[in-house]
Each structure stands twice: as C-alpha cells, then as structure tokens.
Structure 1
C-alpha cells in the first residue's frame, strides 16, 4: 500500500502542469491578441502548431523513457531536468511588450517557439511521471487513488493560479480599469507561476527517487527501427 506521504510527494508534481494549463487555456491567446497586438489568426496558428509539436513529442518521450537505463531509473532522468526548459520558455512566453520593435511574423515565431518548448519541457516531466505512477503499484485501487491525488493537485493549482491572476496581478488601475489588459501584469504572473512550477517539479522528482529500485528495467536492445515502429502505432 502506498503511504499518504508518497502520494503527496508524487502528486505535487502535477502542480506545474496545472499552472501551465490554466495559463495556456485562459490567458495565452488573450495576452498575445488583445494585449500585445498579434493578429488573432496568427496567435491561434501558433497555439495550434505548438499542439502539433506536443502530439509528436509525447509518444516520442514515452518510447525514449521506456527504453532508458540509468542509475536514476527510466523516468527520473527526464523528470529532474524538465524544470529547465519549462521555466525558461514559460517566462519568455509572457515577456513581450506592446512597444517592442518587432514584426507580426517575428512575434508569431516567438510565441510558437516559446509555447512549443514550454510544452516539450512539460512533456519531459509529465510522460515519465505518469508512467512512474502507473508502475509504482500493481494494485488497481491504489493506482486509482494515486492518480486521483495527482489530478486534485493539478486542479487546485490551476484554480489557484486563476485566483492570483484576477485578485492580485490583474487589479484595475486608473490607466487600465480592466486589469487583464495591463501588459505589465503578465511577466510577474508568469514569474510567480514559474517559481511554483520549478518547486513542484523538483520536489516531486527528488523526493520519489527512493522508489526507483522498486521499478522494472528495460532489458531489450534499443533500435531506431523499433522506436519508429512504436511511434507509428502511437
């Protein structure tokens, strides 16, 4: 049976994706199209293109992680480094200002690249993390409880991020009665979110390393043909 302590340590990792999902779902398009001035069509295309990248990297990460053999196991090597691209590109994504001397096409590529690498960074954590949770116990009930904890943490993180955004960062000012239109609000919001994301990713990754030895290892030879075959199936 999994202890509540482990469930907490594991589930804290979902906080990062909860924050990212909230920002990407409710604020990203608005920020670029209404606040920064990117054409809504280009902003939508950037979001859609980043999702396509995500749909490719998710199964690729699963295949690579399954076939990894290190002292840190199959999952933790990727989980432990995921905070680097996540934090950097998440902050950069919300850095632009309306007065930047930048073309629409350049802003599109900025949005696309930063959104894509934020998603890729999150993939480095999310895919191995979910696989780790599925492997840690063979008991269906325990696994269900573990993932219930995980989803609860993600949901609470998303709600908390929205609460902070509207009640602290998007407060109205004489210049911006509608606080969400204030371009100066987004960078501190993103920076705050990035701090919590880094803490959650590192805490969950580090505190669960003591379970690595309990997991199975990949014993077959890794071939490019095998990887491509599995990607086609995915």
Structure 2
C-alpha cells in the first residue's frame, strides 16, 4: 500500500515531483495537437474521406469529449484505491492511449464506407482516452498541494511541456516523408510518426506516475458522489463563475485567432508557406519561454494580475498592430514582432485559469463540504471545448460574411474584413476577458484563509460563513 502524504497548506513540492507532474502537459497535448493540425488533412487527403464527413466526425468527437469530461471527473473522484484516485487511471490508460493514437493515423486501405465506420469508432475512443488522461492529471495537480503559489508552479510546468508538444510536432510532415520512404509506403509514414511521438508520451506517463507517488492528498474514501446539484453549487461561487467566463471567452477568441492567422498571413501580408511555418515556430518557441514569465507574474504579483498583464498585452497588440498599423504586404519582420508580442498572452490563456481552478475547488469545498476536483476540472474542460467548438463553427460563417473565397486574389473588402476580424474582434474579446477578471476575489491571502477555514471545520470548529459571502 502506498503512503499518501497529508499536505500542509504551505508545503513546497520537490523539484522532481513538479517536473514529473509537468510531463503530463506533453502527454495530454501531443496527440491532441497533432490531430488538431493534421487530422482533417489525413482523413481527406490520405484516407480519402470527404471533407464534409471528416469535419462532422471531428465535431462529433469534440462533442463526445466535452460530454465525457464531467463524467470522467466524477469517476476519478470516487475511485477507492490505496494508490490514490487519479494515478490508477493515468497509468491504466497509458497503453490504450498509445495504440488508439497510432490507429487514429493509420490508413488500412479500407473502402470509404468501412473507413468511415472505422474512424468514427477510433475518434470516439481517442477522445475518451484523451479525457481520462487529461482530467485525471489535472485533478491530481489540484490535490498535490494546497499552496497558492505551488499550484501556480504546477500549472506552469504542465503548460510548459504542453507548449513543447506544439513545437515537437513541427517536423511532422518531414518525418512522415522519411518513414514513408523507409517503408516504401507514404501511409505508414503517418503511423510511424505518431508512434514516435507517443513512445515519448508513454515514457513521460511512467515518469509522472512514479514521481507523484504518495502525493495525492485524498485517498478517495470521502463521499464525493456527483449530482447535478454540484454544478449549480459550483456556479454559485463567484471565483468559479469568473474563471469559467474568462476561460470560455479566451478560448473562443484563441480558436478564431489560430484559425484566421493562415488566412491573414497568406492573403493580407502575402507570406509564403515556408515563411508562415517559420513564424508559427517562432511563436511556439517564444510561448514556451513565456510560460516561465507567466509563472513569475503569478507568484510575484497574483494570478489575476498575470492574466491582466499577459492577456491584456495580447489584446492591445492585436488591436493596435493588426487593426491600425500593419498594412497589406508588410515586412516579415513586422510579423515576427507581432508573434513575439502575442506569445505571453498565448502562454497565459491556458496557464492562469488552470492555476485558478484548484483554488475554486477549495471554495466549493468550503461551501458544500464536498471535494470534487475531478468534476470541477471536467466542467471547466467542458466550457473550454464547447467554446472552442463554437469558435471553430462560427469562423466559417465569419469568412463567408466578409466575402472570402478560394480565389487567388481577395477583394479589398475581404482583406479589410480579415484585418478587422484578427485585430479588432479577436483583440477586443481578449480585452473583455481582462475587464471581467477584475471582479475575481481570490488573492493568495484570501485563499489561505479559505484553506484554514476548511481545516478548522474538519477539526470540529465552527466557521462563520458570512466571512466568505464575497466568495459565495
């Protein structure tokens, strides 16, 4: 039986534990990033499935993913194991996740009808395995420490390796060509490339599992059964409402941001595919470095201040540079400057909310007496994925509205529309998310008092709920 540590509110985690936990970012993001970038292309150009069906299949998977997030969170909350609540799921899903991810990029040469059935099943299995790993790892981080700054540090390590996964997939097409030539079958190149990425993920999952041994604060023998009432109670807490709102707006904006970049760079600026790839790589690499800057802002100032500075900067940069300064045919140097200035916000959009969520779990526990880390992370993940799906769905409508076509040269009105969408719409949404976060009531001192009150109640002392009316 593993010895489960009981963490004090201000316990500092060893470096190797935080590093091992941070590897979950790569494990969760590597297959997801590869699928986000190349999934549709693989289905249409390699397998030969129609674009309409492939898009619908991915949308179905995203919907399934969002629905299963709270369910998986509830399951993980109620596992009763001497090895903890989250780690058995993490190690248990490792091998299935590896094989499913490889099968997701394997073309067996079936007929189109059989391929459609096969990939619908694999897509649903992939999103299920992805959810089990990501929700379990996220909830594990919430339980490893009660310390406000240590939670920010854990979120930083995870986000750092998640951003590294984005950089890691940059040579995908080169590796596909290499392995395809090796096997004299280009289709096998896809399977081998994803297998290579996932072998690294397997190793990282094992390291994560080993280094976090004994650091689950709860054994899982508490009563944490999920009911729809838990969602209502969570939404009654002010910190959770604000985090879900700013995260949803930012992810909606991010989805449009990422997707519209290629149209803006290609048509408005006139960059080549090679130049766009280089700009994207610079953006990813600098974003990795900005994860540590975000961490310093969270610990040196506060999580709210980090959000205001980082996301606010990205919003201002987009409005001023894209909306007002950059003109059609601008130099690539200007585009590099834009990418670098946006990178701090790009890191913070995921990092700061995931650092805030464990604090929201504590507020919910103080209010209800129930600790449901997995469910809370699942609900927030649902908000994240639903916002992204809405953003992706609306982008096509937006492009149609501004008159975009597949013609080689776009009209002046369309170019102006691309500028306005990328600069004013995306930038404006980031600014709205910044304005909302000013109402976020949890500082480090306030959170420490919440944890103290939970412990007082556990020891039998009376806690005056009116002291926390600003949170409830």
Please give the TM-score of this superposition, normalised by the length of structure 2.
Answer: 0.43
- Matched with 1:65 is 76
- Matched with 2:27 is 16
Give 1:32's match in structure 2, choosing from 43, 47, 53: 43
The CA deviation at 1:216 is 5.5
The CA deviation at 1:71 is 0.5
The CA deviation at 1:106 is 2.1
- Matched with 2:170 is 162
- Matched with 2:120 is 112
Give 1:195's match in structure 2, choosing from 184, 199, 213: 199
Distance in 2 of aligned mates of 1:106 and 1:93: 14
- Matched with 1:134 is 142
Bigger relative contact order (CA 8 A; separation at least 6): 1
1:163-214 Cα distance to aligned partner (Å, 9 max, x none): 3x1343335999xxxxxx94232011121122112112222122211313x4
The 1:32/1:231 distance shift into structure 2, 3 A limit, reads farther
1:144-168 Cα distance to aligned partner (Å, 9 max, x none): 11101101101102211223x1343
8 Å contact kept, 1:79–1:128: yes
- Matched with 2:189 is 185
**Structure 1 residues not aligned, in runs of 5+:** 175-180
Please give the TM-score of this superposition, normalised by the length of structure 1.
Answer: 0.84
The CA deviation at 1:221 is 7.3
- Matched with 2:218 is 215
The CA deviation at 1:107 is 1.4
What SS is found at the alignment partner of 1:211?
coil
Distance in 2 of aligned mates of 1:54 and 1:221: 22
Distance in 2 of aligned mates of 1:43 and 1:71: 43
8 Å contact kept, 1:85–1:118: no
8 Å contact kept, 1:43–1:111: no
- Matched with 2:256 is none
**Structure 2 residues not aligned, in runs of 5+:** 1-11, 235-378, 380-472
The 1:172/1:15 distance shift into structure 2, 3 A limit, reads closer
Aligned residues: 220
The CA deviation at 1:137 is 1.4
8 Å contact kept, 2:77–2:224: no
Give 1:93's match in structure 2, choosing from 91, 104, 107: 104
Give 2:130's match in structure 1, choosing from 122, 125, 138: 122
Distance in 2 of aligned mates of 1:68 and 1:89: 24
The 1:228/1:109 distance shift into structure 2, 3 A limit, reads farther
Which has more radius of gyration? 2
The 1:125/1:221 distance shift into structure 2, 3 A limit, reads closer
1:69-98 Cα distance to aligned partner (Å, 9 max, x none): 21011111111111122112111111114x
